[in-house]
């Protein structure tokens, strides 16, 4: 007799991992393994982001030929007057990096919460297929996103170099003849990092939205109207959209500061705004107005169809319950007629007419419910 290995009763379900191939997530995993907890790892990441960007800029500007705070004929925009750069690499870049590396954790916690509360029900087989499929897809998304981010970030850095090269603008990374200073190379590298991270965040946000849509298609969505979170139980998923709102708010402040610095500091009150700077401001505003709503709404759209179907089901159940109650009332009226005889015939007729009218109003419509 040959012994055969029995098949496992419950095969392990692959963990949904969206970080394969992501350099930012690999860096955060190394910091997290250093000990001290997740909060300390995030603080270390913030310190590294500032140390790689703002600190070299500050040291380079301090060692350069220009003053950090005093304007002159050749320098219209000193380092400490460039609020766009100060805010971008003290707040925007570190916060966007933190939002990027923590999206996997927030996704895991959100899906576990809604599944544990019965808001989303998915079979182990479908969960396994979704995990295997999207683990491979996210590896491609991360690699393609990083390659695209490198090209787009380098292009935006070069555009900024061409725009601020004009000596009349008096930018702190150029000398009076329009030659790039040593700190200018650090400045362009920091711009490259910033806009590359923005592109990576957009790529991952779109991929996460498609992942949520695939999960909704393979799961059953059951909203709870009286859930304590007042969102039908979907508040954990709403955190993904709320995180995007944080990123959009930070980016919006950057756009406003960019416009303010260009209009108030680089261009004098009696001077006309150069066409190149005007085009840069318009491009920033248009990008914010177009990408802003898409980034905010994208994680929430996959649940719209499921919510509409669940709403239609709840309405039909309510109508069916009302119809059942009406039919029971009419049956009670008939029993009253048989027990009371002809003397209660008029009372029976009034109750019967009222029940029939109520049944007619609560009868489900034969028309197909639109999603």
Ranking 2-16, 40-54, 138-152, 306-320 by mean pLDDT, the lowest is 2-16
Percent of the chain with pLDDT over 90: 35
**pLDDT higher than threshold 80 for residue 213:** yes
- Lowest-pLDDT range of 201-210, 217-226, 250-259: 217-226
Query: What is the model's pLDDT at position 305?
Result: 64
Residue 220, strand partner residues: 121
**Whether pLDDT at 121 is above 60:** yes
- In 315-367, the DSSP E strands lie at none
The per-residue pLDDT for 317 is 62
Q: How far is CA 41 from each of CA 60, 93, 244, rounded to the nearest angstrom?
A: 28, 16, 21
H-type alpha helices, 6-123:
23-32, 38-52, 54-63, 83-87, 93-101, 103-116
Percentage with pLDDT > 70 across the chain: 75
Q: What is the pLDDT of residue 8?
A: 37
pLDDT, position 315: 67
Q: Which residues have a Cβ under 8 Å from the Cβ of 211 and sit 6 or more positions away?
A: 16, 18, 130, 134, 138
Q: What pLDDT does residue 249 have?
A: 86
Q: What is the mean pLDDT of residues 219-224?
A: 76
Q: Where are the domains of the chain?
A: 23-300, 312-362
pLDDT tier, 244 (very low <50, low <70, confident <90, very high otherwise)? confident
Structure-token pair, residue 25: 């997530």
DSSP letter at 36?
A: S
Sign of CA dihedral 197, 203, 209, 214: negative
Contacts with 85 (C-beta within 8 Å, 6 or more apart), sequence order: 54, 57, 79, 187, 190
pLDDT band, very low/low/confident/very high, at 331 (cuts 50, 70, 90):
low
Give the integer Cα–Cα distance in Å for 203 and 144. 9
Written as six digits, the tokens of 158 are 């070069």
User: What's residue 354's pLDDT?
Assistant: 57
Q: Report helix, strand or coil for 233.
A: coil
Dist CA 176 CA 293 (whole Å): 42
Lowest mean pLDDT among 73-77, 134-138, 270-274: 270-274
Which of 62 and 318 is assigned the larger pLDDT? 62
């Amino acid at each position: 007799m040959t012994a055969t290995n029995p098949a496992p009763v419950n095969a392990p379900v692959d963990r949904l991992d969206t970080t394969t191939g992501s350099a930012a997530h690999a860096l955060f995993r190394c910091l997290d393994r250093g000990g001290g907890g997740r909060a300390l790892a995030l603080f270390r990441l913030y310190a590294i982001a500032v140390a790689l960007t703002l600190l070299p800029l500050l040291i380079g500007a301090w060692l350069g030929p220009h003053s950090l705070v005093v304007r002159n004929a050749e320098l219209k925009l000193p380092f400490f007057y460039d609020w766009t750069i100060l805010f971008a690499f003290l707040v925007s870049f570190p916060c966007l990096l933190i939002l990027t590396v923590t999206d996997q954790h927030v996704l895991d916690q959100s899906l576990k919460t809604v599944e544990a509360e019965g808001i989303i029900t998915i079979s182990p087989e479908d969960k396994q297929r979704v995990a295997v499929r999207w683990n491979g897809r996210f590896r491609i998304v991360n690699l393609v996103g990083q390659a695209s981010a490198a090209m787009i970030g380098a292009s935006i850095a070069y555009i900024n170099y061409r725009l601020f090269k004009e000596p009349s603008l008096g930018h702190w990374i150029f000398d009076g003849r329009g030659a790039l200073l040593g700190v200018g190379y650090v400045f362009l590298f920091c711009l490259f990092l910033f806009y590359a991270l923005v592109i990576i965040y957009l790529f991952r946000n779109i991929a996460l939205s498609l992942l949520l849509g695939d999960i909704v298609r393979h799961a059953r969505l059951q909203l709870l109207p009286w859930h304590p979170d007042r969102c039908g139980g979907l508040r954990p998923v709403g955190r993904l959209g709320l995180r995007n709102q944080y990123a959009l708010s930070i980016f919006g402040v950057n756009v406003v500061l960019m416009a303010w610095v260009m209009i108030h500091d680089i261009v004098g009150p009696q001077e006309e705004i150069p066409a190149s700077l005007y085009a840069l401001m318009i491009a920033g505003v248009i990008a914010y107005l177009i990408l802003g709503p898409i980034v905010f709404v994208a994680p929430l759209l996959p649940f719209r169809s499921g919510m509409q179907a669940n709403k239609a089901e709840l309405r039909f159940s309510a109508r069916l319950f009302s119809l059942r109650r009406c039919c029971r009332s009419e049956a009670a009226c008939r029993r009253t007629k048989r027990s009371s005889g002809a003397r209660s015939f008029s009372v029976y007729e009034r109750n019967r007419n009222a029940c029939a009218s109520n049944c007619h109003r609560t009868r489900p419509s034969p028309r197909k419910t639109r999603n």
